[in-house]
Structure 1
Amino acid sequence: MLTITATPRHTGVKISGDYFDLDELNQAIYRVIGDEDDYYHLEGSRMRILGVCYEIRHAAQGDRNVESVFNGLHEQVKKQHGFIAPDKNVYFSAEILWPEVLYTAIALKNFTKLYRESVEFPEWDIHLPIVHHFQSLILDCLHGHVKEDEYQVILKAFNQAASVEDYATQYVDYFNLQYIKMTKQQREKSLSTIAVKLANQDKDYQTFRQQVLKAATPAKKAIHEIPLQAEYPEQIEW
């Protein structure tokens, strides 16, 4: 079963599941976001989502965290059916920073809408429910770590989120890097604000975007091709 839980220091979330859970999620996201250049103005957001998929894929391959999880098989059941079997399953997991996974949930709205319009019978599509479930798990995890009134504001912001076409995805890096530097208490206090700001594209975002565009124009590059002049730490305390 796919699960999403907050990490101990509230730095991000841990996406967990068995191999098939994680592989199914990856395959569904790959299908929904399409191929390179299918949606040119969404390419920056597509690349961000692929970054999350990269971590999920490596988790499924056992390159991240491996843990044993109780599978519900009690001794009484074993005796009743007369067989010997382990009572734990192997689960894999990977951590993703909170701002990154929140933006992923927002950006996937655009891709699921376009994908739904591209298939003849979306109500019977196998990939859309998997992606929607992933988005819902992210929000459900967030719900457990913010106040109820704040969560309702976040839900409204996510529901009304503007298109992420030509989104300055460096803004996600900005929040990621700020978030890493915070204490656990600061993260808990700022999480709802970051979630809303990622969705609302407010004045702060517009100012940030204009700065990125100024850097993009001389080089004649697309906005998502301009690198942020900052580096992530090699080790993150989750």
Structure 2
Amino acid sequence: MLSMKTTPNHTGVKISGDYFDLDELNQAIYKVIGKEGEYHGYEGSRLRILGVSYEIRHAAQGDRNVEFVFNGLHENTKKQHGFIAPDKNIYFSAEVLWPELLYAAYALRDFVRLYGDKRGDLLADTYTPVIAKFQALVLECLQGHVPGEEYAAILEAFRKSPSVNEYAVQYVDLLNLKYIGMNRQQREKSLSAIAMKLTLQDSEYQAFRKQVIDAAAPGKQPIHEIGIQAKYPEQVEW
């Protein structure tokens, strides 16, 4: 079963599951976000989501964390059915920074809509329910670490926030780096504000986006191709 929990230093979220859980999520992400260039104005967001998917895929391949989880098979059940079997399953996991994961959950809202517009009736679709569960798990994990009133406001923002069409995704890097630079207590206090900033696209974001657009204008580049000068640390204390 796919699960999420915040990391010890509140830096991010550990996404856990068996191989099939993680592979199912990856397949759903690939299907819903479409191919490169398929949705004009969404390529930057698509690449950010692929970054999260990359970690999930490597987790499923055993390249990140591996742990053993009780599978519900008790000794009396083994005796009753007369077989020998392990009572633990192998689970894989990977950590993702909180701002990055929140943005992925937020941006996937648009991709589900775009996918639905292209596909039509989603009644028999098996991919969008997997995405919905992923988004719900992110928000459920967030709920345990923010005050109730703030969580209600975040849910409302996720429902009504603007589209991520032409979103300046470098802003996610800015929030990631700020968040990494905080201590645990500061992260706990700022998580609600970061979730709101990602979704509401406030005046700070708009000013940042204008800088990105200005940087892209001379070469007529897509705004998602503009890099930032700041670098991520080689090691993150999760």
Identify the TM-score tier after normalising by the shorter chain. over 0.9
Alignment of 1:61-72 (within 5 A): 61-72=61-72
TM-score between both structures, scaled by the size of structure 1: 0.99
Aligned to 2:211: 211
- AA matched with 1:112: V
Instruction: State the alpha-carbon separation in 2 of the partners of residues 69 and 86 from structure 1.
Output: 11
Instruction: State the alpha-carbon separation in 2 of the partners of residues 218 and 121 from structure 1.
Output: 43
Deviation at 1:120, TM superposition (A): 3.3
- AA matched with 1:197: K
Aligned to 2:53: 53
Alignment of 1:115-194 (within 5 A): 115-194=115-194
Instruction: State the alpha-carbon separation in 1 of the partners of residues 182 and 2 from structure 2.
Output: 28
- AA matched with 2:102: L
Superposed CA offset, 1:2-36 (max 9, x none):
00110010000001000000000000010000000
- AA matched with 2:27: Q
Name stretches of at least 5 consecutive residues in structure 2 with no aligned partner.
none
| Stretches (4+) displaced over 3 A | none
Deviation at 1:116, TM superposition (A): 1.1
Deviation at 1:124, TM superposition (A): 1.2
Instruction: State the alpha-carbon separation in 1 of the partners of residues 81 and 68 from structure 2.
Output: 23
Aligned to 1:7: 7
Indicate the percent of aligned positions where both proteins have the same amino acid: 65
- 22-31 or 119-128, larger mean C-alpha shift: 119-128
- AA matched with 1:174: L
Deviation at 1:130, TM superposition (A): 0.3
Instruction: State the alpha-carbon separation in 2 of the partners of residues 12 and 40 from structure 1.
Output: 30
Deviation at 1:169, TM superposition (A): 0.2
RMSD of aligned residue pairs (Cα, Å): 0.6
May I ask how many residue pairs the two structures share in their alignment? 238
Name stretches of at least 5 consecutive residues in structure 1 with no aligned partner.
none
Superposed CA offset, 1:176-228 (max 9, x none):
00000100000000000000110000111000000111111112211000001
- 208-217 or 94-103, larger mean C-alpha shift: 208-217
Instruction: State the alpha-carbon separation in 2 of the partners of residues 173 and 14 from structure 1.
Output: 19
- 189-198 or 112-121, larger mean C-alpha shift: 112-121
Aligned to 1:114: 114
